[in-house]
Copies of this chain bind each other. A is one copy, B any other.
Amino acid sequence: MITVSIVEDDDEIRQSLSMLINATDGFECISTHPDGESAVKKIPNELPDVILMDIGLPGISGIETIKRLKEKITDIDVIVLTIHENDKFVFDALCAGATGYLLKETPPLRIMESIIEVRNGGSPMSTQIARMVVTSFKLNPAPDLTQRETEVLSCLVDGMSYKMIADKLFISEETVRRHIKNIYRKLEVHSKSEAVAKAIREKLV
């Protein structure tokens, strides 16, 4: 028996999800909550196996609700079920600790399969979401940077000082400074930490 809680403000959706779960052998919907506050308060006592979580909730957001619940119950599986397929919502939800992310157009059968999948150590996602997630890993070629400059930028991202970079690349510290000046000009930054931040954010290395 897999126990499920639902956090969803729309009465109709909440009830039909609950009915779907209870109508399926081996599943039980043990509670439903219309907002994040009551979910955060009560779910730690109810301890379901899986939570189906909406993102657009009144009061505290679904993201914040996930964060607070995961702090209290680290090993719970949260599947986001939402209409939002916006980058920010998706990545914020995953950073907060969501294990799966389904769009509301997901057919009922697929929702039930996802609950099983998440219990089996998977991370069910709608196809668009999976693509967004995978694409986010893709490295961008650092525009304009020469090969050597790219190497130096990697060293910066590794937290190395001018001296350490010089030693590693067998060149003088002055040459390192030269390369770094060129990197700053090309990336339009003015310090190591800005360069590192930009390189990582834009996945240049």
Using a CB–CB cutoff of 8 Å, the interface residues on chain A facing chain B are 91, 94-100, 117, 120-125, 127-128, 130-131, 133-135, 137-139, 156-161, 189, 191-198, 200, 203
Contacts and interface: CB of A to CB of B under 8 A. Distances in A.
B117 A121 contact: no
A91 B95 CA distance: 17
A89 to B, nearest CB: 13
B197 A157 contact: yes
A191 B157 CA distance: 12
B198 A134 contact: no
Contacts of A95: 137-139, 203
A7 B133 CA distance: 25
Given A121-B128, A133-B137, A159-B193, 18 more contacts: A94-B138, A95-B137, A97-B138, A98-B134, A100-B134, A117-B127, A121-B127, A122-B127, A123-B130, A123-B131, A123-B134, A125-B134, A133-B133, A156-B193, A157-B193, A157-B197, A159-B195, A160-B193
Contacts of A161: 191
A134 B99 contact: yes
A105 to B, nearest CB: 14
A164 B157 CA distance: 21
Interface centre among A159, A161, A193 (most CB of B within 10 A): A193
Contacts of A137: 91, 94-95, 133
A159 B191 contact: yes
B94 A194 contact: no
Contacts of A158: 197
